[in-house]
Structure 1
Amino acid sequence: MASSYLLQCPNFSTNLNLPSKPTTLKITPSFLLIKAAATSNNIRDEARRQNLTNPPQIHNFSAKYVPFGADPATSTESYSLDDIVYRSQSGGLLDVHHDFSALKAFPGSYWRALFDSRVGKTTGPYGAGVWSKKEWVLPEISSDDIVSAFEGNSNLFWAERFGKQFLEMNDLWVKHCGISHTGSFKDLGMTVLVSQVNRLRKMNKPLFGVGCASTGDTSAALSAYCASAGIPSIVFLPANKISIAQLVQPIANGAFVLSIDTDFDGCMQLIREVTSELPIYLANSLNSLRLEGQKTAAIEILQQFDWEVPEWVIVPGGNLGNIYAFYKGFHMCKELGLVDKIPRLVCAQAANANPLYLYYKSAWKEFKAVKANSTFASAIQIGDPVSIDRAVYALKKSNGIVEEATEEELMDAMAQADSTGMFICPHTGVALTALMKLRKSGVIRSSDRTVVVSTAHGLKFTQSKIDYHSNNIKEMACRYANPPVSVAADFGSVMDVLKKYLSKTPKY
């Protein structure tokens, strides 16, 4: 006999479509899962049939654009998410504001149970990490319009050996957001943005395609999701400033790629000008829709800890949308009663591209853009971040900290992490360096539960690893290099080398 369990679900007024007092309903697995019918040839058709059998509850959840930092209750400026708009009337950033009064009609226990019930299921689209929180992300979109590769649900890795060996920590975790469809956390935001574009095009909005400036990962995510939906993608890349692995992704996915003789900030300025003149939707994090997907990684962290809140979360920062996205995810969980506090946030920057760090060290007195210098953490090589105001807000609200990492520090940290079984990107090396510095200063204690966010897969940055382990980086000691040993093809030579190696290996 099929098992069942009790779940808090809302009743709804048939006249007003408004939620009333929650009641306890008996829910069977068939209510939560789409069963693959033998006769079904189309997953979306099967989802529709399932909804006819178990019709979804009617709700009044909604979201809109409002000027960032404005009080939604008093602001006279707002926009539908179906509007093509990126800036407020004053030229400032926009933010996606959800109707909290509607969401608060259900207790935190309801949202925890609902989100947990969807994890890892094949129920389209709710099995995806992002879309399992659909009501908090893009509540009014039809499931038919969602473009998803079941992104999210990424591994929260217990970095046991790294924590104990290098930091004397027992409760260190790495959120591997780079173990994703295109190998980076950018998938979390791009599924939301491209899904909305898919919706807008079906509404006959004047949109030819989607464009972005990128240091690599944004273009990979954009091109993959657009290709899946049959939407043209246009990518502006700074010439000779990203890895081959990152460059080949948009090319392979059929994007129209422009290699431009400038840096990311120059590409960003050009794409903003182009999208203001042509029917191309802007996909950079200036567009606040991206952050709605990225914030779900914060909610996932809480889920993976059974809704216990870690003391610290450390995030690499470049264009700075991500640190705000994590704050937003944690804040929503606290505001809606899923948890009773939020973690302290740390934004980690490369010293060669550190405008937020310099602003923080000045006690937030004056922000100055910088000319970003070359860094192995190429995705955060940004000197004039679009989301600077969002980042400062998130850090102030979370009693946060900003740290930086030199090139040698981030490469050493990456090598140390890899030596304990990880295979991380240089940006994660920046975050680990920040952790090491905060542990050394005593700000982060040995007992503090800490999560480091890994933003991309290490396989995208193999050349930097090869150069490090070959001692081939100018003016860098490469202290943890582990080059291969050349040896003659005979038994005696191999034995001599192995005996020498074993004599230096710690005995257990």
Structure 2
Amino acid sequence: MATAQLLNSSSSFLHHRRSLSLISCTATSPITTTPPPLPRPIPATEFSARYVPFSSISSNTPTAESYSLDQVIYRSSDGGLLDVQHDMAALRRFDGQYWRALFDSRVGTTRWPHGSGVWSKKEWVLPGIHDSDIVSAFEGNSNLFWAERFGKHFLHMSDLWVKHCGISHTGSFKDLGMTVLVSQVNRLRKLNPRSIIGVGCASTGDTSAAFSAYCASAGIPSIVFLPANRISMAQLVQPIANGAFVLSIDTDFDGCMKLIKQITAELPIYLANSLNSLRLEGQKTAAIEILQQFDWEVPDWVIVPGGNLGNIYAFYKGFKMCEELGLVDRIPRLAETTFASAIQIGDPVSIERAVHALRGCEGIVEEAGEEELMDAMALADSTGMFVCPHTGVALAALMKLRRSGTIAAGDRAVVVSTAHGLKFTQAKIDYHSGRIPEMECRHANRPVTVKPEIGAVMDQLNKLLSRTR
């Protein structure tokens, strides 16, 4: 198995695992096994990648316009999005079995930089970078959790999984993309120290936490534009602790994004938002990890919370590369889930990428309201999870898709959890305290105030027992 999974050892639900041969033996008849040979290493010069207009990818039309990854560029000549295009012909010189074995051989290693879930796929991410330029906290390799109780109790599903991307260095999936972006900035600053004086981003929280941590690790100045009074303190404290220069601006995310694009056009400050396609190269590795964790079996559905909409394309790109290079024979359907006011992005920069991804996998879009997502988050937490509101959106949308029959009871579905629930404790406190205006908070679990007397305590416990019998 590529990585450890949280499974009840007494459960019979093991059909996703490789078959195990049980052989009895005695001390006088030892069994020796020879581990399979590791794939031979490939020189980095075998592969390359470049920027090309996203329009050429989405329309499948060749383009003469391309740029080196060493150029500081975010848009094509016509103002459109860019994409990172890999030399697929070079990658195809090695078959799917080779790539599966290579990626599997790197899981859990301490070898730099392959112990990272991102850099274990270096040849598919940023092949030209030298290992010494990489800035990594060994991100990725996050838990794929069998959500047995939630699936069976609330959805009548026995094959529901949650990919906990929030179990990462700074507590969100943003680490996957930021290790790539900051590593490339580190490389560019070494090539020309005056080319980039710092890195900047607009953020509603997780992006600034991730990029400020990686910049701090590399000694690169970081600048954060935050919408005032619109993010949790747990998110705000991370860039502050990492030494970022934080500007709290009286606007929303879109206003911050407009300003940071203007600033990076005027000053040698590198843009770290998902407009920058380098980040998606790291984020796509979560899709490859899911396949690894299922021993390269393809799930039926992957449900991704939407924000700036880059992540849905990143997952599609990871799955599609695996199909095109022969690691799997199909890709899962993607369901993108949205709730604009919770995710706080009204003008997502990657909407073209998202549309392309959904068309390419017969994907769908489902929406959840604020009360729906908060209730779904509370139900998930009641089964032992501790998820973020964005994951609540995905779970609420999944519940709708199950009720409509779009997702069947027997389907294997993976919900992508994008951040750690500890970043959103105030939202959970408000819900369980019933303090959210115009919300029923129907699954709230309020503490019971009781006198310090055995009789009073016994009365409350007897009430509890009478409800659970």
TM score, norm. by length of structure 1: 0.84
Alpha-carbon distance between aligned partners in 2 of 1:216 and 1:166, rounded to the nearest angstrom: 31
RMSD: 1.4
8 A contact 2:113–2:131 mirrored in 1 = yes
What is the aligned partner in structure 2 of residue 121 from structure 1?
A: 109
8 A contact 1:311–1:448 mirrored in 2 = yes
In structure 1, the gaps of 5 or more residues are 11-54, 354-374
8 A contact 1:315–1:431 mirrored in 2 = yes
Partner-residue secondary structure (3-state), 1:193 = helix
What is the aligned partner in structure 1 of residue 7 from structure 2?
A: none
Alpha-carbon distance between aligned partners in 2 of 1:7 and 1:480, rounded to the nearest angstrom: 53
Residue 436, structure 1, aligned to residue 425, structure 2: no
8 A contact 1:67–1:92 mirrored in 2 = yes
Alpha-carbon distance between aligned partners in 2 of 1:118 and 1:195, rounded to the nearest angstrom: 20
Alpha-carbon distance between aligned partners in 1 of 2:92 and 2:292, rounded to the nearest angstrom: 19
| Pairwise CA distance, 1:230 | 0.3
Partner-residue secondary structure (3-state), 2:229 = coil
Residue 417, structure 1, aligned to residue 380, structure 2: yes
1:485 to 444, 448, 468: 448
What is the aligned partner in structure 1 of residue 214 from structure 2?
A: 225
Alpha-carbon distance between aligned partners in 1 of 2:37 and 2:44, rounded to the nearest angstrom: 17
Alpha-carbon distance between aligned partners in 2 of 1:218 and 1:265, rounded to the nearest angstrom: 14
Alpha-carbon distance between aligned partners in 1 of 2:252 and 2:382, rounded to the nearest angstrom: 33
What is the aligned partner in structure 1 of residue 424 from structure 2?
A: 461
Counterpart amino acid of residue 155 in structure 1: N
| Pairwise CA distance, 1:318 | 1.2
1:321 to 305, 310, 331: 310
| Pairwise CA distance, 1:59 | 4.2
Residue 65, structure 1, aligned to residue 51, structure 2: yes
Residue 208, structure 1, aligned to residue 197, structure 2: yes
What is the aligned partner in structure 2 of residue 149 from structure 1?
A: 137
What is the aligned partner in structure 1 of residue 99 from structure 2?
A: 111
What is the aligned partner in structure 2 of residue 473 from structure 1?
A: 436
| Pairwise CA distance, 1:229 | 0.4
2:327 to 338, 354, 373: 338
What is the aligned partner in structure 2 of residue 165 from structure 1?
A: 153
Moved over 2 A (4+): 2-10, 55-59, 71-74
In structure 2, the gaps of 5 or more residues are 1-31
What is the aligned partner in structure 1 of residue 35 from structure 2?
A: 5
Listed one character per residue, the Cα deviations across residues 173-198 of structure 1 (whole Å, up to 9, x for unaligned) are 00000011000000000000000000
Listed one character per residue, the Cα deviations across residues 29-72 of structure 1 (whole Å, up to 9, x for unaligned) are xxxxxxxxxxxxxxxxxxxxxxxxxx864642000000003158
Alpha-carbon distance between aligned partners in 2 of 1:411 and 1:9, rounded to the nearest angstrom: 47
Tell me how many residue pairs correspond in the alignment: 435
Residue 193, structure 1, aligned to residue 181, structure 2: yes
Partner-residue secondary structure (3-state), 2:56 = coil
TM score, norm. by length of structure 2: 0.91
Mark the CA change 1:204 to 1:4 in structure 2 (over 3 Å): closer, same or farther: farther
What is the aligned partner in structure 1 of residue 86 from structure 2?
A: 98
Alpha-carbon distance between aligned partners in 1 of 2:102 and 2:61, rounded to the nearest angstrom: 28
Aligned residue runs from structure 1 range 40-55, under 5 A: none
Listed one character per residue, the Cα deviations across residues 186-225 of structure 1 (whole Å, up to 9, x for unaligned) are 0000000000000000001510010000000000001000
| Pairwise CA distance, 1:73 | 7.3
Partner-residue secondary structure (3-state), 1:460 = helix
Partner-residue secondary structure (3-state), 2:51 = strand
Residue 307, structure 1, aligned to residue 292, structure 2: no
8 A contact 1:7–1:113 mirrored in 2 = no
8 A contact 1:8–1:110 mirrored in 2 = no
Counterpart amino acid of residue 401 in structure 1: I
Mark the CA change 1:58 to 1:483 in structure 2 (over 3 Å): closer, same or farther: closer
- Bigger relative contact order (CA 8 A; separation at least 6): 2
Mark the CA change 1:485 to 1:8 in structure 2 (over 3 Å): closer, same or farther: closer
8 A contact 1:7–1:110 mirrored in 2 = no
8 A contact 2:372–2:396 mirrored in 1 = yes
